[in-house]
Structure 1
Amino acid sequence: MSPVSTRLVRLLNMVPYFQANPRITYAEAAADLGVSTKQLREDLNQLWMCGLPGYGPGDLIDFEFSGDTIEVTFSAGIDQPLRLTSPEATGLLVALRALVDVPGVVDPAAARSAIAKIESAAGTVAHGSGAASAESEPAPVENQVAGAVREAVRAGKALTIEYYSASGDTLSSRTVDPIRVLLVGDYSYLEAWSREAEGVRLFRFDRIVDARALDEPSAPPEPALQGPPDTSLFDADPALPSATLRVAPSASWMLEYYPMRVLQELPDGYCEAAMTYASEDWMTRLVLGFGSAVTVLAPESLAIRVREAATAALRAYSAGPRSG
């Protein structure tokens, strides 16, 4: 569906939605409708220009905004949400059934209930025919950790997690500010701001060993919160850290040899690029091998490590061989 069609469907369903949820806040409505608060305000401004023929002030859809809440005061006859066509219902059922078994994406019980309601509305379950419906099927038991993470994302709470890194075979404790849950390939991930790494990281749900919600709101930096998810670098473990490098023209061949993404072109043929790595030791050796042609801009911990290793190597070289 094109962006215009997607927005049209959303606009047609927004008036019934606000009628069913009077005095809902901007943040709650944006989360339910799957848009940003900015987009929601733009949609409301668009709806204000819609209405009945005549299109005078008394014919247009109208809202009352009180503080941070929204309420419909005139619907212009748009009182019912759009009905699903048979292909749309089938597609939605297939998608929901696929999501039921993916940890952290949906509440399995709620998804099973939604499947049953769609089946009933679409007439796919024959009454008295003995066909098994979603209501009669037991919902999968959700993993306690996945449930805790999903609820923290929904409630906007910060988390402490115990995370297993397959690349380093290590278990580490992280404090994170959840942003969203993502599906990448066959796995679900928590996208969050890592306070320790001071950057956005993806944590695979089946590698989160333990999770505990904190009594404080999730507060990732605004650019991280508003930016779209970027999974282009994660060819291996999406929880891998990323380095920002300044690459000289003489080392530009590494952009084709290693999984890197150019962030911006710089003067004189230089560029700024991002690269993931599993081991800081390995990354330090790689950067040292390029000499002054590659400079680490971030993270600071890697830049310090490279400088210290380079200094130690120069010191050892300057000392020369010891006499026997």
Structure 2
Amino acid sequence: MVVPYVVRHPGTPVADLSSLFGVPEGELLDDLNLLFVSGLPPYGPGDLIDVQVEEGRVWIDMAEYFSRPVRLSRSEALALYLRGKALLGAPGLEEAPLLASALAKLEEGLGQETLGSLAGLVQVGTGGHVAEALAAVRGAVESQERLSIEYYSAARDDLSVREIDPEHVFSAIGNWYVVAWDHQSDEERLFRVDRMRSAEPTGETFVPRGLAGLGRPLYSRSDRDVSVRLLLGPAARWVAEYYATERALERDDGALEVTMPVKDLPWVAKLILRLGGEAKVLGPPELESMVRETAAATLALYRRGG
């Protein structure tokens, strides 16, 4: 956003840019310095961006291709719409009116024929225990107070009680996350607020450990990860945008072949069933078997209930 603004308003003071975009002046200047090695292939002298900072003012040249917003492809627009729609349902979002206006424009551009197939694919908890947990977490971060939480692990299908020292709370891809020190595992953990069944102050305070907050990766790799390969139809391509992927290969028919690192196969099996015929397991074989077993168990429960 800074680049097109300066292209349209050459000579803008650094202090004004810092205030306008909410970025400290030092960090802004560091980012501007990176532009010196940015541009278009083949990255020759005439292809790079020229940034001048003189007497506290900024000029950017050779960046006409950034002077207007980039036109989104259909898949990019779909990914942006899905993330925005999910984020709109999150409690406590001050920018909700602006986001709703932007999503309305995306809806108009994508058309109901496209959006109709996406109904129900993104589910975000709002209100109730989610709003209460979010308020408790925010208060605990501010007061540096330890929390006792009941937390549901979707991967293990398990509800546990644990004490955490929350240091950061932020929103990403439609969910609220808490960065905290988990006393049960005695290590740093990332928790989703909508999976907290309750969050109660313990009355104890803690000294922050300086854990990383907004901007950190939502998925942390480990030696226990398993790589799964999925073939995603057009209506399921959002999965590659929503979750961490190691590799994505687009096929001629519009399908997307992705490799994803996961910690638990049962969670992936449930995701495949949610996607219906829009997703196919390419590997490993045990995931294929798990999908069939989960589908059979679900069908049996449905028949007993009916």
TM-score by length of 2: 0.39
Q: Say which structure, 1 or 2, has more relative contact order (CA 8 Å, 6+ apart).
A: 2
